[in-house]
Amino acid sequence: MAKPTADAPWQVEDVVLPWPASLEGLSSRATTGAPSERAKPEDLSLRAKRGNPSSTEPPTDPLVTRYLDHVRFEKRLAERTCTLYRLDLIRLADMSEASQVPLLQVQTGHIRRWVAQMHSAGRTGRGIALILSGWRGFYTWLGREGLIGHNPVVDVRAPRVAKPLPKALGVDEAVQLAEHEENDDDPWLEARDAAMVELLYGCGLRVAELTGLDVLPSAEASRAGRGWIDVQNAEVQVQGKGGKRRSVPLGSAAIEALTHWLAVRTQVPGMLTQATPGASPASLALFPGHRGTRLTARSVELRLKRRSQLAGLATPVHPHMLRHSFASHVLQSSGDLRAVQELLGHANITTTQVYTRLDFQHLAKAYDAAHPRAKRK
């Protein structure tokens, strides 16, 4: 693969996946990144037939528009979160219109009926819970604006479902992926992808945190909610959910991969190593694509899926699986739940406790394999 130049840029972002079936279902994602329970696979492909909202369809209700502006500009939520809220609220407006009930006059009974309709249509309990969360925030805001006296969603709960365990790689599989080298790729492309894997698995970053990294700190990056790397001090600064910043240490393997990548990153047209007045924010992106723009979460997902299969892993790997693997493996080695919570940026330790179930699962397998009384005759 030839090196990109300003005169002859590549026409396709990254490379084509080597298996035709890998392109199936790309339209089934609501947004970039991991698949969302809010948008089931059939939702996006059949939206036109069912009248479901698209991620680009503008809301028609002025109250919805005002609320979306509130969460985007005042609460400064991530663009992906705002997109999901928009889908949820367009759905709410459609249901209220079908029931001939204005949004300001919706009652708890309406919400319960709509939840029952979604559940009977096959939507999962988790998907309904996410939708209700979006609706609940909207009506909370309406109450603060003095437009309603009671939140009709506050007492409504989604159907209960068993919580699945996070999908994590085994230690050997994670190391196999991290140590994989794809010699058929362009050297700069291989260096970039290797560094991304090291940050996802070695630091437990969310994919949005990864794509939001710059090569150096700046006031503009802080205002925009982006993070940056500090190889000299062996740490990465990220802004996670809720605008909370945290510092995550860089391991030796991550430092080595980043050092190698930074040495060839400037081969991508438009990439800078220092802040320059008037330059595009994308010029300081740690992980750019072929055209010099910041990689999207979807691009990272496709690159990682391809790399995991070329590395010989049986299961295609997505970015959040490496975050789960990071948490599980650190907990197995240290047993320090609080430390894992800080590293992951969880606001509540109950979110982190799910990894203790993975740790117990690991211990149970070790017991079954090693203890003489565990073996069946």
Residue 35: what pLDDT?
A: 39
- 318, 320, 324, 329: which is the annotated catalytic residue? 320
Residues of the chain with CATH 1.10.443.10: 171-361
| Angle subtended at Cα 213 by Cα 218 and Cα 202, rounded to the nearest 5 degrees | 130
Residue 372: CB atoms within 10 A of its CB come to 5
pTM: 0.58
Residue 60: what pLDDT?
A: 67
- For the cut 60, the answer to whether the pLDDT of residue 284 exceeds it is yes
Residue 163: what pLDDT?
A: 67
Burial 256-287 (b: 16+ CB within 10 A, else e): ebbebbbebbebbeebbeebeeeeeebbbbbb
Residue 307: what pLDDT?
A: 96
Least confident of 132-136, 150-154, 352-356: 352-356
What is the rounded average pLDDT of the residues 26-47?
38
Q: Provide the phi-psi class of 40: left if phi over 0, else alpha when psi is between -120 and 50, else beta.
A: beta
Per the annotation, the verdict on 70 as an active-site residue is: no
Per the annotation, the verdict on 241 as an active-site residue is: yes
User: Residues of the chain with pLDDT > 70: what percent?
Assistant: 77
Q: In the block, which residue shows the tokens 């009930």?
A: 101
Q: Rounded distance, CA 127 to CA 142, Å?
A: 23
- 241, 260, 298, 305: which is the annotated catalytic residue? 241
pLDDT tens for 362-373 read 555 554 665 565
Residue 310: what pLDDT?
A: 95
- 67, 85, 139, 355: which is the annotated catalytic residue? 355
Residue 366: what pLDDT?
A: 54
| Angle subtended at Cα 303 by Cα 54 and Cα 17, rounded to the nearest 5 degrees | 85
pLDDT tens for 320-358 read 999 999 988 888 888 888 888 888 888 888 778 777 765
Confidence class of residue 288 from pLDDT cuts 50, 70 and 90? very high
Confidence class of residue 8 from pLDDT cuts 50, 70 and 90? very low
- 110, 303, 307, 323: which is the annotated catalytic residue? 323
pLDDT tens for 220-264 read 888 888 999 999 999 999 988 878 889 999 999 999 999 999 999
pLDDT tens for 177-224 read 999 999 999 999 999 999 999 999 999 999 999 999 999 998 888 888
What is the rounded average pLDDT of the residues 42-49?
35
Among candidates 244, 249, 247, 248, which has minimal Cα distance to 347?
244
Residue 154: what pLDDT?
A: 93
Which of 21-35, 36-50, 314-328 holds the top average pLDDT? 314-328
Residue 167: what pLDDT?
A: 86
Residue 34: what pLDDT?
A: 37
* CATH code of the region 171-361: 1.10.443.10
- 29, 123, 206, 265: which is the annotated catalytic residue? 206
Residue 142 DSSP SS3? helix
Per the annotation, the verdict on 206 as an active-site residue is: yes
Q: What is the chain's mean pLDDT, rounded?
A: 81
Q: Rounded distance, CA 127 to CA 360, Å?
A: 27
User: Residues of the chain with pLDDT > 90: what percent?
Assistant: 50
- 290, 306, 329, 346: which is the annotated catalytic residue? 346
Per the annotation, the verdict on 320 as an active-site residue is: yes
Residue 61: CB atoms within 10 A of its CB come to 17
pLDDT tens for 95-121 read 999 999 999 999 999 999 999 999 888
Residue 56: what pLDDT?
A: 54
Confidence class of residue 39 from pLDDT cuts 50, 70 and 90? very low
